[in-house]
Amino acid sequence: MNLTKEKLCKITRWGLSLFIPFIFLQSLVFKFTDAPETQHIFGTLDQWAADVLGFEGVFLAPGIFNQYVVGSTELVASVLLLAGLFTRFKWLNPVGALIALGVISGAIFFHLFTPLGIDVQGDGGALFGTAVAIWIASLILVYKGRAELCSLICKKA
């Protein structure tokens, strides 16, 4: 099988663009159903925000960073990533990747710098490792789609 650089780039783009929504969409079940794991994560973050920053309720509904807001943002990123693959609007893909990069950067920050930690409820760091994998995949897609992103930002009048 002779893979050209162009074919390899397309396969990589498709694989990463399917991987991120696959993970994000699976997590929505937990976020939107008040699963105990989600309650633990956002409860831990809310307690930290209250104790350290004095911002109680930020991570609990109706706070601005609650599980429904984060889940909805992941859903939007997933839809845009997939729409960029399956429609003629290819620029949607890097926009979705940029949103995914933003939301997952927040997740990684909170794993590293709050009591949430890398090992969440004895998962051996699986949740954190998945977040890092999504971060890398998103970064690659943003880099690959930088021309589309720049054309959106720098349109000539």
E strand map for the chain: none
Summarised one tens digit per residue, pLDDT across range 80-89 is 999 999 999 9
Amino acid found at 41 = I
In terms of Cα–Cα distance, which of 96, 98, 34, 97 is closest to 66? 34
Does 157 score more than 60 pLDDT? no
Summarised one tens digit per residue, pLDDT across range 6-17 is 898 889 999 999
Place of tokens 């939007």: 76
Summarised one tens digit per residue, pLDDT across range 23-68 is 999 999 999 999 999 999 999 999 999 999 999 999 999 999 999 9
> For residue 151, what pLDDT is reported?
86
> For residue 154, what pLDDT is reported?
84
Summarised one tens digit per residue, pLDDT across range 115-138 is 999 999 999 999 999 999 999 999
How many C-beta neighbours within 10 Å does residue 132 have?
15
Compute the average pLDDT of residues 66-83: 97
> For residue 156, what pLDDT is reported?
59
Structural contact between residues 97 and 141, judged by C-beta atoms closer than 8 angstroms:
yes
> For residue 1, what pLDDT is reported?
59
